[in-house]
Amino acid sequence: MDAITSYLQPGRLADVLALIQVLAYDRDSYRSEDGLYDELQRNPTVGGAWMALAKQHPEFFRVRDDQTRKPRVALLARYVLDHQQLSDGEDKRPPLDPSVANKLMELAIQLHDKQLERKSRWKSVVLPMAVAVIAAGASIAAAVITSSKPTAPAVAQQLAPSGDPLSNDVRQH
């Protein structure tokens, strides 16, 4: 999928927001395809796989695609954090602060809105240009047609080339 229009697919924004939330707040900073399905209880709306969705959005997600290990996805903002000892004693990356996660979701919404605006831009640029081209073409066609029409005095001369037709009739009688 083209990165310029990836958010315009139906349901894409909701899928990206769901993936951000799971990866931002969950105890584990990364998830496999199965782990994401278990957490979200569904596949993404478009594309069929959470890993594929994450690969299409490298602005938020890091996908480990090592052939020797199971593929997994992490949220970039969380992946770069240092490991800390959690309350249960495990050494893991901590969940994101809610303000950071909210900022990431706002960013996804802004990217969606910008792509939607870019998609609609043709209406404000191309449409007026097309109307101007059509108007110019109509003006040129009208000018050509007008210049090729015979004028009214020329038509009258063709009908009566030797002068006044009434005067010819009068001389013959």
Q: Where are the domains of the chain?
A: 6-118, 123-149
Pick from 87-101, 110-124, 149-163: least confident: 149-163
Residue 19 has pLDDT above 80, yes or no: yes
Q: CA 9, CA 21: separation in Å to the nearest integer?
A: 20
Query: What CATH fold (topology level) applies to the domain 6-118?
Result: Arc Repressor Mutant, subunit A (1.10.10)
DSSP 8: G
Query: Which two tokens mark 95?
Result: 């969940």
Q: CA 14, CA 46: separation in Å to the nearest integer?
A: 11
What are the Cα distances from residue 123, in Å, to 6, 8, 54, 94? 20, 17, 31, 46
**What share of the chain has pLDDT > 70, as a percent?**
79
Residue 10 has pLDDT above 70, yes or no: yes
Return the pLDDT at 16: 93
Is residue 112 within 8 Å of residue 7, measured between CB atoms?
yes
Q: CA 74, CA 154: separation in Å to the nearest integer?
A: 85
pTM (predicted TM-score)? 0.64
Return the pLDDT at 28: 84
Query: Which two tokens mark 131?
Result: 């109307």
Return the pLDDT at 67: 79
Looking at the chain, which runs of residues are DSSP E strands?
Answer: 30-31, 61-64, 72-75, 84-85, 91-92
Return the pLDDT at 75: 92
Average pLDDT over residues 139-164: 67
Per-residue pLDDT band for 132 (boundaries 50, 70, 90) equals confident
Question: Closest by alpha carbon to 6, among 42, 52, 43?
Answer: 52
Gyration radius (Cα) of the chain, Å: 36
Per-residue pLDDT band for 162 (boundaries 50, 70, 90) equals low
Is residue 72 within 8 Å of residue 32, measured between CB atoms?
yes
Q: CA 92, CA 161: separation in Å to the nearest integer?
A: 106
Residue 21 has pLDDT above 90, yes or no: yes
Q: Look at strands 84-85 and 91-92 and give their pairing.
A: antiparallel
